[in-house]
């Protein structure tokens, strides 16, 4: 969107309806004539702004400033030292240890469920109506035996 009309991004359909209603009430039959004049003024204003930008070279200046800021930020990021190897190693080992503990815990939970299943006890997610039939042993619906 044009920077000149950037303020119009917050206007929705209800607001436009109110503005159109007010324009009809205020200008009445002259509304087409007034709208054409307003459009002509907006076009003239946009042309003037573009001409000023070209003449002053402000776009080039803004791009140069933006490049300078980005370049300075990049250089500053490169100057920041990396963490010492010992600190990095400690953080890495701590993360690996945590992952191993989680794996061990999930393996223990799995073996506990297997033990309960072999004894015929219902597991934590099974109700008291645990069944030992496999899906292959179950009768298919609609099939008579």
pTM of the model: 0.37
Q: Report pLDDT digits (tens) over 30-71.
A: 999 999 999 999 999 999 999 988 888 888 888 899 999 999
What is the rounded distance in angstroms from the CA atom of residue 35 to the CA atom of residue 50? 23
pLDDT class for 75, splitting at 50, 70, 90?
confident
């Amino acid at each position: 969107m044009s920077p000149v009309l950037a303020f119009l991004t917050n206007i929705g359909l209800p607001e436009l309806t109110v503005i159109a209603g007010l324009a009809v009430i205020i200008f009445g039959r002259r509304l087409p004539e007034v709208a054409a004049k307003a459009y002509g003024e907006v076009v003239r204003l946009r042309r003037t702004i573009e001409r000023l930008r070209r003449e002053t070279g402000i776009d080039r200046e803004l791009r140069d400033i933006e490049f300078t800021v980005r370049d300075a930020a990049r250089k500053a990021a490169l100057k920041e030292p990396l963490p010492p190897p010992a600190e990095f190693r400690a953080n890495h080992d701590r993360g690996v240890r945590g992952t191993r503990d989680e794996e061990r815990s999930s393996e223990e939970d799995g073996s506990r469920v297997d033990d309960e299943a072999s004894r015929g006890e219902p597991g934590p997610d099974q109700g008291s109506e645990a069944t030992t039939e496999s899906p292959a042993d179950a009768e298919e619906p609609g099939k008579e035996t």
